[in-house]
Structure 1
Amino acid sequence: MKALLIFAVVCGMANPTDRYVESMTRQIATLYQANSPELLQTSVNAFDRIAQVESQHWEPLYYSAFGNIMLAIRETSAARKDQYLDLALASVQKAQALQPANGEITAMEGFVYMIRVTVDPGARGQQYSAMAFGAINKALAMSPGNPRALGLLAQMELGTARFFNASTAGACETARKALAQYDSFQPENELTPMWGREMTEEVLKNCH
């Protein structure tokens, strides 16, 4: 009886983690496949609910931020874009409080600033481009060779080159490095971020 009790206690301790990973894995797959604002919002809501329960984990906050950025990209209203980006940044900052030296989270911060630029490049370019480059380079210092950070850097370099009618060679080289890192990237676990390759491939389509 004592052995059975110990077994039950051990299983009871393990199950919450198993349920968390299972739930997150399912929601991440749903988020990556979401092809409409409605589905994206449903995913964001799911991650927000998980984050409330699993407050010690950074991943739900991270994926909630990613979902809100995707919503901002699809949105046509500047005001609504900013609302989604505000929510994304709030989630990023909560995740950073849990893991300040996490390069994936810091790259996501840079992604928020990058999309801020697109809302009004003329008015926001100087401020938010600097913030985006700063966060992305900080992410690369934390996680050298991170493919998502390199991919975001390539997008920023391409956007900057186009804005100033300059050469895109640097952006193209960064994009090639990012794709090489995607090819060799080994996820740590089921919850490791895996997005970004297609965005980087879009950069290379502008290279000759």
Structure 2
Amino acid sequence: MKHLIIIAALFVSALTTAQANYEQGMQKAFELWGSNNPTEASNLFERIAKAEPDNWLPLYYAAQINIVRSFGEKNEEKLSAQLKKAQNLINDAMAISKDNPEILVLQALLHTAWVAFDGATYGMTLSGKVVELYTKAEMLAPNNPRVVYCKAEWHIGGAKYFGQDTKPFCKDLEHALELFANFKPETPFSPNWGKERAEMLWRSCKE
């Protein structure tokens, strides 16, 4: 009985240590990203993912960094390398957490990065996939503010590209801001981004 108690205590201690290491690692990765060290942050998220094989969040953030960096990239070879890496990370995250609206939004943003790079080449092949991803994400999580805001921004971008009125999508941004006001992430490290961008787009709508 004494041995069982000792083993149980050691097991609990190991779990506590692992959780503390995870939290410290994630915080450090976010700090690196926030201090304009995206490569180091992405690498750290990937290392955390290897230590946390059942956790989709480190993979998600490593992919997100590569996607965010791709917007505005002019070098196609560099863009392709970043987005290929991001796609592999997304695939691994999806294998852990299927039908996850947050990951679906990230996949849509990856496709959007290609469309933003060359709309004439990638618009026809990827636009339908982006709409399909947002539609699925909205069905799974209609009150997720990132789903609503990112879908609205996609439609605003499309309207601008084709010279159409963007105002019809402003109500969706307003709805997204309402959702952001009441949104509570499931864990301290769960996705909680997008509010500032949605507010900026909303202000543009009113101009």
- Structure-1-length-normalised TM-score: 0.89
Cα shift readout 1:78-101 (whole Å, capped 9, x = no counterpart): 332222111111111110011112
Mapped to 1, the partners of 2:176 and 2:24 lie a distance apart of 29
1:19 is aligned to 21
Between the aligned partners of 1:143 and 1:188, the Cα distance in structure 2 is 13
Q: Secondary structure at the match of 2:180?
A: helix
Deviates more, 1:6-15 or 1:152-161: 6-15
2:169 alignment partner AA: A
Distance 1:83 1:187 in 2: 31
Q: In structure 1, which of residues 39, 45, 48 is the aligned counterpart of residue 46 of structure 2? A: 48
The amino acid that maps onto 2:105 is: A
Q: 2:9 maps to what in 1?
A: 7
Kept after mapping to 2: 8 A contact 1:154/1:203? no
Report the residue type matching 1:22 in the other structure.
Q
Q: Which runs of 5+ in 2 are unaligned?
A: none
Amino acid at match of 1:46: L
Counterpart Cα distance in 1 of 2:172 and 2:32: 30
Alignment RMSD (CA, Å): 1.8
| Matching of residues 176-195 of structure 1 within 5 Å | 176-195=174-193
Residue type at the aligned position of 1:8: L
Instruction: Check whether the contact 2:101–2:141 (CA below 8 A) recurs between aligned residues.
Output: yes
Rounded to whole Å, the distance in 2 between the matches of 1:201 and 1:172 is: 11
Once the two structures are TM-superposed, the CA of residue 61 in structure 1 deviates from its matched residue by: 0.6
Amino acid at match of 2:152: A
Partner of 2:91: 93
1:69 has 2:76 as partner: no
Alpha-carbon distance in 2 for matches of 1:57, 1:170 = 38
Aligned-pair distance for 1:34?
4.0
> Residues 32 and 41 of structure 2 are in contact (CA less than 8 Å); yes or no, is this contact kept in structure 1?
yes
Identity of aligned residues (%): 26
Structure 2: which amino acid aligns with 1:181? Answer: L
> 1:158 — aligned with what?
156
Query: Which string of whole-angstrom CA distances, capped at 9 and with x for unpartnered residues, describes residues 98-144 of structure 1?
Result: 11121111111111111111010122112222111111221121222
Contact 1:157 1:171 in 2 (8 A): yes
CA distance in 2, matches of 1:34, 1:148: 24
Name the count of aligned residue pairs. 204
Any unmatched runs of 5+ in structure 1? none
Deviates more, 1:110-119 or 1:140-149: 140-149
TM-score normalised to the size of structure 2? 0.90
Q: Is the 8 A contact 2:72 2:117 kept in 1?
A: no
Is the 2:25–2:44 Cα contact (8 Å) retained in structure 1?
no
Aligned with 2:204: secondary structure? coil
Instruction: Give the C-alpha shift of residue 67 in structure 1.
Output: 0.5
Deviation, structure 1 residue 186:
0.7
